[in-house]
């Protein structure tokens, strides 16, 4: 719970056995002081090692607040973590459950497919945060990501470009592809975009309006483009990026890089074409089978 809003974190995961426990534990280690509202990290986990209590009252831990310098009751900032196991062949799902996460299964491979499956989980969702399960995100920066939502922002993107990036955290293909896609979006929609990073926060209400459909690598860019097309307030904040644990499923292989590039650029073209073709003020739903290039040739 953060500023009287429930927080759900979604983690799409594929073979993240080496890192998933640390990510979930970092999220559940964030505690909000009932006295001053300050968010403490790490100390909360030490005071409340079991996260799956039967009632909200069981989640309270009496801890020393590093801000107001008093021992006060702390509640977890993150209410629920939902991990979507996207066909892992390791112990990702088991470890996630043992750490207190809700686990859902999505056998269809795809970043977007995993996110959509996690969003269907039967848990309360108000403010939603997307985090990768590879330990690249510094979870203690979560309050910074959430704060703009309380000041009028509809979608908040954690920009790796604007923030500090550990050496080796982003590969050259990632940097190049990210820069090209961001520049293309700025050119088309006339708004400064610096990153398509996965660390982002949005309300369930806004997500419903965005009508997310992409099931592959175009998920993140679809969310940003949809927000721009619907005149939502999109905010970027600098975030710290750590070198991931394990090999990247995308940038770690040539096939992954090509697939991601095709998915991202294809999504931008498809959404832009639909915008030009539509005379409606309300953004229409996009068919997964729509082919803008083919349609343009038919005309």
Distance (Å, whole) CA 234 – CA 42: 30
pLDDT value for 297: 42
pLDDT value for 55: 39
pLDDT value for 254: 57
Q: Give the DSSP per-residue string, 221-282.
A: HHHHHHHHHTT--EEEEE--BPPPSS--SSTTSHHHHHHHHHHHHHHHHHHHHHHHH---SS
Q: Tokens for 63?
A: 């801890």
Instruction: Write down the domain spans for the chain.
Output: 7-30+77-168+195-247
Strand (E) positions, the chain? 7-13, 31-33, 39-40, 61-64, 71-76, 80-85, 102-105, 127-130, 155-159, 200-203, 234-238
pLDDT value for 103: 98
Q: What average pLDDT is seen over the chain?
A: 85
User: What is the value of pTM for the model shown?
Assistant: 0.84
pLDDT along the chain (299 residues), means of 10: 94 96 93 80 53 49 74 84 96 96 96 97 95 95 97 97 91 86 93 94 97 94 96 97 78 61 86 80 51 43
pLDDT value for 137: 95
Contacts of 103 (CB under 8 A, 6+ apart): 82, 83, 84, 85, 93, 96, 97
30: left (phi over 0), alpha (psi -120 to 50) or beta: beta
Q: Tokens for 67?
A: 């801000």
pLDDT value for 250: 56
pLDDT value for 34: 76
Q: Domain 7-30+77-168+195-247 is classified in which CATH homologous superfamily?
A: Spore Coat Polysaccharide Biosynthesis Protein SpsA; Chain A (3.90.550.10)
């Amino acid at each position: 719970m953060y500023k009287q809003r429930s927080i759900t974190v979604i983690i799409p995961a594929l073979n993240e056995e080496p890192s998933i426990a640390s990510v979930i534990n970092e999220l559940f280690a964030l505690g909000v002081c009932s006295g001053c509202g300050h968010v403490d990290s790490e100390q909360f986990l030490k005071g409340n090692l079991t996260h799956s209590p039967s009632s909200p009252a069981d989640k309270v831990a009496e801890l020393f607040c590093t801000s107001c310098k008093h021992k006060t009751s702390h509640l977890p900032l993150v209410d629920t973590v939902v991990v979507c196991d996207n066909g892992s062949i390791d112990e990702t799902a088991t470890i996630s459950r043992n750490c207190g996460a809700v686990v859902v299964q999505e056998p269809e491979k795809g970043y977007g497919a995993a996110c959509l499956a996690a969003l269907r989980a039967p848990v309360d969702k108000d403010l939603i945060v997307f985090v990768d399960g590879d330990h690249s995100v510094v979870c203690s920066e979560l309050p910074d990501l959430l704060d703009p939502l309380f000041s009028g922002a509809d979608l908040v993107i954690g920009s790796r470009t604007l923030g500090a990036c550990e050496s080796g955290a982003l590969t050259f293909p990632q940097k190049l592809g990210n820069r090209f896609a961001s520049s293309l979006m700025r050119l088309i929609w006339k708004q400064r975009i610096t990153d398509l990073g996965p660390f982002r926060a949005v309300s369930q209400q806004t997500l419903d309006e965005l009508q997310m459909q992409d099931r592959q690598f175009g998920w993140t860019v679809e969310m940003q483009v949809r927000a721009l097309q619907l005149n939502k307030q999109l905010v970027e904040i600098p975030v710290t990026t750590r070198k991931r644990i394990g090999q990247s499923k995308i940038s770690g292989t040539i096939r992954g890089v090509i697939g991601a590039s095709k998915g991202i650029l294809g999504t931008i073209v498809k959404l832009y074409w639909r915008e030009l073709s539509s005379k409606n003020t309300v953004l229409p739903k996009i068919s997964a089978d729509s082919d803008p290039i083919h349609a343009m040739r038919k005309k």
